[in-house]
Amino acid sequence: MEHGKYRKETETVTFQGKEITLDNLIPVMTPEQEAAKRQELEQRLYDIFRKYAEARRAEEAGA
């Protein structure tokens, strides 16, 4: 999904005695786009969880 607009957040932090400026670009999305992205992320996380849960069950059944 391509995003045309970004919101910029700038923060200055200290790391090992030096000040570093961090620029964070955040895509500006409509509520519908945000919901679609969230649903996609949740589905991917669920798929990963299911993969490892199935592997664990197979391990336990074989033990």
More confident residue, 13 or 58: 13
Nearest of 22, 27, 23 to residue 7 by alpha carbon: 27
Say how far apart CA 3 and CA 9 lie, in whole Å: 17
Nearest of 1, 9, 6, 4 to residue 40 by alpha carbon: 1
- What number is the average pLDDT over the span 30-38? 96
**CB distance 8 to 23 below 8 Å:** yes
Say how far apart CA 37 and CA 40 lie, in whole Å: 5
Whether 63 has a pLDDT exceeding 70, the answer reads no
Whether 62 has a pLDDT exceeding 90, the answer reads no
State the average pLDDT for the chain.
91
Nearest of 20, 24, 31 to residue 8 by alpha carbon: 24
